[in-house]
C-alpha cells in the first residue's frame, strides 16, 4: 500500500519510535517568536543548557507585539533579541524588518517541500501549504526543539479534503476554509493532518493555499498540507535556483512528496464549491459559520484586515479592488496591518496603501496586533469587528468584543457599508469618482 | 536535577461544556508574563459558565478538572497548562482533548486522561463535592462524592506514561537524544 505525503515526511525524518504509535522526528526548521520562546530560553538558562542544536535551522522573529507596547513586552523582545545575538542566529528579524511569522518565513523561502517545521504557535500549520509537515507546539516542545532538534508526534492519520468546482466571483480561500471548518467542526480533525487537494487547490496561488492551511488548526488538525507542484516551485524559485536546473525540474522533483494514489486515508471529505457564497462566523467558535447573506445588516464598529490568515498582498489587492474611491461608513474604524515589510512595500508601490488611507483606514506596521487582542485595535466590551483573522473566541480581540471572521473582500464590504454585507454587490462597479 | 513526578488528585472542579479553549483558560493579555508563577491568579478568568466562578475558594483547593470534549482547543500556549500546574491541578479528565494541549500536559509531566462519554457523564452526576485519588502506578483513579464512589481505569499511551514518570519531555529527551 502507498503512503500519504505526511507518512513520507515522517519516514524521512524518523529519529526514534518510542512506541509503535509514536514517532520522534528530526526537525528541519524551528521557528521562534517573542511570546512563547522567552520562557523556554529562561528555562534553558536556569538549567545551564543555553544551547541551540543548529543556528541555521532556527528562525526567530519579534512579531506579536512590535514595537513593544509596555515593559513586559519589551522584556520579552529583549530576551529573544539577546538570545538570537548570543547564539548568532542569522535569521532573526527585529523591528524594521519584522512581520507576522507565518507570512514572513515563507516569504524568505525558509520552508521547503518535505520539511518538518515546529513553532510555539498553533498557526504553524500554515506552512503545510508548501508540502511540509508543520505543527504548532507548546513551549516545552519548542525548548526541546531548540536544544535537540527533535519533536515527538503520534503517527499521522490523514483526512483528505477534495475541493472540486470553481470559485465564484467574490469568493476566496477564506470562504472555502470557513465552509470546511463548518462541516468538520472544531475538533473534527483532531490528531489528523488535513490534506487539501482537488482542482480548486491546484488552481490556487501559494497565498491562497496558506490561507487554507492556516485555519486547519481551527478544525483541530495537527497540520494542513498541500501537494508541492509548479505553483510551489515558482514561488520558491528565487531560493532554489542553485539547486535545480529549471522550475520544471524542481516541480518534477517535488513529486516525490506527493501522496501515492493507493495511500490510506482515515477519512475523506469531498466538496463542490462552485455555488459557495461568501462565508462568515457568527458565534464564538470558528465552526459557527453562515453565508454572509444570512448575516447582512449586523452593525460593525471596527474592520480589521491583516494577520497570518489574510494580511498578504493578494488579500490587500482584493480589498483595495472594491475600496478604491470609497470611504469607511460613518462610525466604523478601519485598521489594516500588512503582514510583512515586503507586503507593506508592495502595497505602497501599487497604490494600495493610498486607497486604504483615502478611505479612512489606519495602516499599521506589520504585526499581529489586534488579532490576539494585544495592541493596534483591541475592542471595547460590546463592540463588533469584521475581521480577516482566524479566531473568534470570546474575548480574543478584547474582553466583551465580538469578532466575525470573513474574507478581505467581505470585511471591506462591511467597512464601506457599516454593516455585514454581501461583497459581491460591489464587484465590477465603476468605483472611481463614485460618491458612496 | 531530576524533576520529581508530580502529585495527582484532590478535589475536582467540574467544567460542564465542550470546546473550552486556551484563551478561556488563560487570556492572551497574560502571555507577557515572564514566569509560570505569575499566572496563578488568572486561572480560567475568561470562562463564562453557569455556576462557575474563577474566584471561588473551591478552585484554589482543587486538584483535578473534569470536563467534556475537545478541552484546550485553540492557541498552543503552554501557559494554559502552567496555570493549572502552579495552582496544583496536575490532572484533567475529559472526553477528549485538543492535540497541542494534551501534548503540553504530558510534556510537563501532567496527566490528561481521556474517558468515554458515559463515564464522564457518571462523574458529572456525582455532584459537586468529589475528591479524586490516583493509585501509585496511575492505572486507576477513584472519585468519591456524597453519592458514592466510582473507579475508572486510566488508559494512557505508553509513551505518554513514560513522560509522566520522567517528569516531562525535556527530562526524557535530554537523557535520550
Ligand atoms: S496573526 Fe494572529 S493568529 Fe497569526 S500568528 Fe499572529 S496572533 Fe497568531
Task: Give the model's pLDDT for residue A430.
Answer: 52
Whether A23 contacts A10, CB under 8 Å = yes
- Helices assigned H by DSSP within A24-96: 37-46, 71-86
pLDDT at A244 over 70: yes
List of residues 6+ apart from A232 with CB closer than 8 A: A113, A130, A131, A206, A226, A251, A254
Cell numbers standing for residue B75: 492557541
Average pLDDT over residues A388-416: 96
Task: Give the model's pLDDT for residue B136.
Answer: 83
Question: B81: distance to nearest CA of chain A, Å?
Answer: 9
A32, A139, A151, A33: which is closest to B76 by C-alpha? Answer: A139
Average pLDDT over residues A322-335: 98
Task: Give the model's pLDDT for residue B56.
Answer: 87
Average pLDDT over residues B127-138: 88
pTM of the predicted model as reported, rounded to 2 decimal places = 0.95
Average pLDDT over residues A13-35: 97
Task: Give the model's pLDDT for residue B3.
Answer: 58
- Closest residue in chain B to residue A391, using alpha carbons only: B74
Residues in B closer than 8 angstroms to A43, CB to CB, are 170
pLDDT at B138 over 90: no
Whether A220 contacts A189, CB under 8 Å = yes
The mean pLDDT of chain A is 96
What's the gap in Å between A280 CA and the centre of ligand 1?
A: 18
What's the gap in Å between A120 CA and the centre of ligand 1?
A: 11
B29, B32, B25, B11: which is closest to B83 by C-alpha? Answer: B25
- Distance linking the first and last C-alpha atoms of chain A: 60
pLDDT at A147 over 50: yes
User: Which residue, by CA, sits nearest to atom 1 of ligand 1?
Assistant: A307
Average pLDDT over residues A329-347: 98
Task: Give the model's pLDDT for residue A433.
Answer: 41
Task: Give the model's pLDDT for residue A1.
Answer: 85
Question: Is B81 an interface residue toward A (CB < 8 Å)?
Answer: yes
Average pLDDT over residues A68-76: 96
- The verdict on the CB of residue A308 being under 6 Å from ligand 1 is yes
Cell numbers standing for residue A53: 542544536
Distance CA B24, CA B52 (A): 13
- Distance linking the first and last C-alpha atoms of chain B: 17
pLDDT at A239 over 90: yes
Best B25, B27, B28, B71 residue to mutate vs chain A (most A CBs within 10 Å): B28
DSSP output for chain B: -PPPPPP-EEEEEEE--S--BHHHHS-GGGGG-SSSGGGGGGTTTT---TT--TT-HHHHH--EEEE-SSBTBS---THHHHHHHTTT--EEEES-B-HHHHHHHHHTT-EEEE--HHHHHHHHHT-S--EEEE-TTSSEEEEEETTEEEEEE----HHHHHHHHHTSHHHHHHHH-
Residue A23 host element (H or E): strand A22-26
* Domains of chain B, first to last: 9-176 (3.20.19.10)
B89, B36, B21: which is closest to A42 by C-alpha? Answer: B36
Instruction: Please indicate whether, in this complex, the C-beta atoms of B74 and A148 are within 8 angstroms of each other.
Output: no
Residues in B closer than 8 angstroms to A154, CB to CB, are 157
* Domains of chain A, first to last: 5-271 (3.30.499.10), 281-426 (3.30.499.10)
Task: Give the model's pLDDT for residue A435.
Answer: 39
Average pLDDT over residues A226-235: 98
List of residues 6+ apart from A142 with CB closer than 8 A: A30, A32, A36, A37, A40, A118, A119, A120
Task: Give the model's pLDDT for residue A436.
Answer: 37
What's the gap in Å between A107 CA and the centre of ligand 1?
A: 16
β-sheet bridge partners, residue A272: A164
Interval A94-120: pLDDT, tens: 999 999 999 999 999 999 999 999 999
CA distances in angstroms from B96 to A78, A312, B66, B67, B73, listed in the order given: 38, 35, 11, 9, 10
Distance CA A30, CA A138 (A): 12
Cell 477564506 -> residue: A174
Distance CA A317, CA A346 (A): 10
In which band, very low, low, confident or very high, does the pLDDT at B4 lie, cut at 50, 70 and 90?
A: low
Percentage of chain A exceeding pLDDT 90:
97
Residues in B closer than 8 angstroms to A21, CB to CB, are 157, 159
What's the gap in Å between A133 CA and the centre of ligand 1?
A: 19
SS3 label, residue A362: strand
pLDDT at B162 over 50: yes
Interval A171-183: pLDDT, tens: 999 999 999 999 9
pLDDT at B44 over 80: yes
Instruction: Please indicate whether, in this complex, the C-beta atoms of B27 and A220 are within 8 angstroms of each other.
Output: no
Among B48, B81, B99, the residue with its CB nearest the CB of A191 is: B99
ipTM: 0.94
Question: Is B60 an interface residue toward A (CB < 8 Å)?
Answer: no
Percentage of chain A exceeding pLDDT 70:
98
Cell numbers standing for residue A11: 519516514
List of residues 6+ apart from A396 with CB closer than 8 A: A372, A373, A403, B23, B28
Amino acid at each position: 500500500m502507498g503512503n500519504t505525503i505526511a507518512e513520507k515526511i515522517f519516514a524521512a525524518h524518523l529519529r526514534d519510535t518510542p512506541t509503535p504509535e509514536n514517532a520522534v522526528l528530526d526537525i528541519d526548521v524551528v521557528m521562534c517568536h517573542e511570546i512563547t520562546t522567552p520562557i523556554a530560553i529562561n528555562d534553558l538558562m536556569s538549567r545551564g543548557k543555553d544551547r541551540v542544536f543548529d543556528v541555521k535551522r532556527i528562525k526567530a522573529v519579534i512579531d506579536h507585539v512590535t514595537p513593544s507596547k509596555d515593559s513586559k513586552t519589551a522584556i520579552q523582545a529583549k530576551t529573544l533579541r539577546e538570545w538570537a545575538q548570543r547564539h548568532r542566529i542569522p535569521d532573526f528579524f527585529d523591528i524594521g524588518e519584522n512581520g507576522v511569522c507565518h507570512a514572513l518565513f515563507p516569504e524568505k523561502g525558509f520552508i521547503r517541500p518535505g520539511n518538518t517545521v515546529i513553532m510555539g504557535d498553533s498557526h504553524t500549520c500554515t506552512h503545510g501549504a508548501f508540502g511540509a509537515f508543520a505543527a504548532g507546539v507548546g513551549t516545552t516542545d519548542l525548548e526541546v526543539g531548540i536544544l535537540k532538534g527533535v519533536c515527538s508526534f503520534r503517527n499521522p492519520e490523514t483526512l483528505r479534503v477534495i475541493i472540486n468546482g470553481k470559485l465564484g466571483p467574490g469568493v476566496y480561500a477564506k470562504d472555502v476554509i470557513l465552509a470546511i471548518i463548518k462541516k468538520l467542526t472544531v475538533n473534527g480533525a483532531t490528531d489528523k493532518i488535513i490534506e487539501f487537494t482537488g482542482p480548486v487547490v491546484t488552481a490556487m496561488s501559494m497565498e491562497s493555499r496558506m490561507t487554507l492551511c492556516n485555519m486547519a488548526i481551527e478544525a483541530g488538525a495537527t497540520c494542513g498540507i498541500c501537494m508541492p507542484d509548479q505553483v510551489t516551485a515558482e514561488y520558491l524559485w528565487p531560493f532554489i535556483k542553485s539547486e535545480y536546473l529549471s522550475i520544471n525540474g524542481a516541480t518534477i522533483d517535488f513529486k516525490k512528496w506527493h501522496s501515492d494514489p493507493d495511500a490510506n486515508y482515515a477519512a475523506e471529505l469531498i466538496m463542490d464549491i462552485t455555488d459557495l457564497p461568501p462565508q462568515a462566523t457568527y458565534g464564538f467558535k470558528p465552526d459557527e459559520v453562515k453565508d454572509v447573506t444570512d448575516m447582512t445588516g449586523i452593525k460593525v464598529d471596527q474592520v480589521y484586515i491583516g494577520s497570518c490568515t489574510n494580511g498578504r498582498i493578494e488579500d490587500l489587492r482584493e480589498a483595495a479592488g472594491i475600496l478604491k474611491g470609497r470611504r469607511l461608513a460613518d462610525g466604523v474604524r478601519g485598521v489594516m496591518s500588512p503582514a510583512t515589510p515586503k507586503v507593506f512595500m508592495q502595497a505602497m508601490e501599487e497604490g494600495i496603501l493610498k486607497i486604504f488611507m483615502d478611505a479612512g483606514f489606519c495602516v499599521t506596521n506589520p504585526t499581529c496586533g489586534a488579532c490576539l487582542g494585544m495592541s493596534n485595535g483591541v475592542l471595547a466590551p460590546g463592540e463588533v469587528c469584521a475581521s480577516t483573522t482566524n479566531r473568534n473566541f470570546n474575548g480574543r480581540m478584547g474582553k466583551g468584543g465580538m469578532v466575525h471572521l470573513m474574507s478581505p473582500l467581505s470585511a471591506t464590504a462591511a467597512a464601506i457599508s457599516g454593516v455585514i454585507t454581501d461583497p459581491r454587490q460591489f464587484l465590477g462597479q465603476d468605483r472611481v469618482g463614485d460618491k458612496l | 536535577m531530576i524533576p520529581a513526578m508530580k502529585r495527582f488528585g484532590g478535589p475536582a472542579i467540574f467544567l460542564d461544556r465542550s470546546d473550552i479553549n486556551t484563551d478561556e483558560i488563560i487570556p492572551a493579555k497574560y502571555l507577557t508574563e515572564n514566569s509560570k508563577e505569575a499566572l496563578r491568579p488568572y486561572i480560567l478568568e475568561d470562562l463564562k459558565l453557569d455556576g462557575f466562578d474563577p474566584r471561588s475558594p473551591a478552585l484554589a483547593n482543587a486538584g483535578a478538572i473534569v470536563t467534556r470534549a475537545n478541552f484546550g482547543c485553540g492557541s498552543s500556549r503552554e501557559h494554559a497548562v502552567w496555570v493549572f500546574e502552579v495552582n496544583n491541578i496536575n490532572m484533567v479528565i475529559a472526553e477528549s482533548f485538543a492535540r497541542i494541549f494534551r501534548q503540553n500536559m504530558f510534556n510537563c509531566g501532567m496527566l490528561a486522561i481521556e474517558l468515554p462519554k458515559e463515564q464522564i457523564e457518571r462523574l458529572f452526576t456525582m455532584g459537586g463535592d468529589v475528591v479524586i485519588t490516583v493509585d501509585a502506578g496511575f492505572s486507576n483513579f477513584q472519585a468519591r462524592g456524597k453519592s458514592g464512589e466510582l473507579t475508572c481505569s486510566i488508559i494512557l499511551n505508553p509513551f505518554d506514561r513514560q513522560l509522566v514518570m520522567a517528569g516531562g519531555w525535556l527530562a526524557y529527551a535530554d537523557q535520550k537524544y
